[in-house]
Amino acid sequence: MNPEPESPSAAPPGVLSHGGRVLPAVTVDTYNEELRDEEGFVGDRASGRAFRAILEDWRDKLRAQGEDPFGDVETHEISKSKLDKILGGDDPLAAGLVHTVVEEFAVELATVVRRFLRLQKWQGTERIVIGGGLSSSHIGELAMGRAAVILAAESQHIELRTISNHPDKAGLIGSVHLAPSWVLAGHDAILAADIGGTNIRVGVIDLKMKKSGDVTKAAVWKHLHWRHRDDEPTREQALDRMAEMARELIELADGEKLKLAPFVGIGCPGLIDEHGLIVNGGQNLPGGNWHEKDFNLSAALARRLPRFGGHEPAVIMHNDAVVQGLSEVPNQKDVERWGILTIGTGLGNARFTNRADQEDED
């Protein structure tokens, strides 16, 4: 289990804080839990890599019989959309293969959910949102549904629900819930970035505020996407490219008379301390060394950004699963304690408790 950062847990919601535990709408009870068993990290059993490993294993078994329906195509090259299409196709062997993989993965997902629910800080969780890239596919939805059935058969009282926004957008939208209302007041939008082991996205989030502090309708106005894994940049090259993307979006927003708040929210893997340092978990980020003690991501990006709205922007970081989970704040008002599992290259996780003293934004 990860050590707890000291300062953020005590920071009030009106204060800008990296890795903050008390946010305007929720308390972040825990995140980035790294559960282990005799086989390694438990979360690895329900990751995107795990799904591909199961698919490859079953392809090996079919190859032994000379019947692999995917032929010579590498497993990592088979897209989620291709697998979705096969499920509804007229090739019974191919469809059977995908169904078998989904079933086995669902068993692993149910096992992982079970383990999280045993954690003290996950006690009393009423609902878990499933996010990440796999959740945006039919195979991902089917695996989640099957896992829910398995858990229900064991009398596990937990609801599993797929994330409402597309995960690519959810990882940006959630940043609005990192900012206190005084930061957003009088502005139309914010900048947000989502940094992952394969992709980097930067976007403008339209706040769509009906009244002061109400960001329940926030949505991505425009965003730019870069699959950095194809380019293998250094850390500095990645930061330069992020800044270029941000500057392009700032110019677009200015051209449309969208008033940007001097705030940038960043979601990235790992445990984030109050100084904006990645304590651990950043090993898959482009170029490596993002967790070095002398490297501060928020400061490095802020130095590369222009002033906008007449101010130097405040760049605030949090864990990417936390940020993706925060996009669900408007949809979780009917429960008190809820969490998120993001199925991407790895498995992200966070558990939240709705703050009783937050204003009703309906």
- pLDDT tens digits, residue range 304-325? 999 887 889 999 999 999 999 9
Answer whether 189's CB lies under 8 Å from 258's CB: yes
Please tell me whether residue 55 adopts helix, strand or coil conformation: helix
Q: What number of CA atoms fall less than 13 Å from residue 75's CA on the CB side?
A: 18
What is the per-residue pLDDT for 360? 46
- pLDDT tens digits, residue range 315-354? 999 999 999 999 999 999 999 999 999 998 788 999 999 9
What is the per-residue pLDDT for 12? 64
40-162 and 166-327 share one fold: yes
What is the per-residue pLDDT for 15? 76
For residue 202, what are its two tokens? Answer: 């930067």
Q: What would the CATH number be for the domain defined by 40-162? A: 3.30.420
Residue type for position 254: D
- pLDDT tens digits, residue range 2-25? 444 444 445 666 678 899 999 999
Please tell me whether residue 161 adopts helix, strand or coil conformation: strand
Average pLDDT (265-275) is 94
The fraction of the chain above a pLDDT of 90, given in percent, is 74
d(CA 38, CA 41) in angstroms, rounded, equals 9
Helices (H) and strands (E) in the chain, counts: 9, 14
Q: What DSSP state is assigned to residue 122?
A: G
Per the rule left: phi > 0, alpha: psi between -120 and 50, beta: everything else, 190 is: beta
For residue 72, what are its two tokens? Answer: 């010579």
pLDDT at 40 over 80: no
- pLDDT tens digits, residue range 98-143? 999 999 999 999 999 999 999 999 999 999 999 998 899 999 999 9
pLDDT at 358 over 60: no
pTM to 2 decimals?
Answer: 0.91
For residue 40, what are its two tokens? Answer: 């390694």
Q: Where are the domains of the chain?
A: 40-162, 166-327
pLDDT at 176 over 60: yes
pLDDT at 361 over 60: no
The residue ranking higher by pLDDT, 234 or 359, is 234
Answer whether 193's CB lies under 8 Å from 267's CB: yes
Domain 166-327 has CATH 3.40.640.10: no
Answer whether 227's CB lies under 8 Å from 233's CB: no
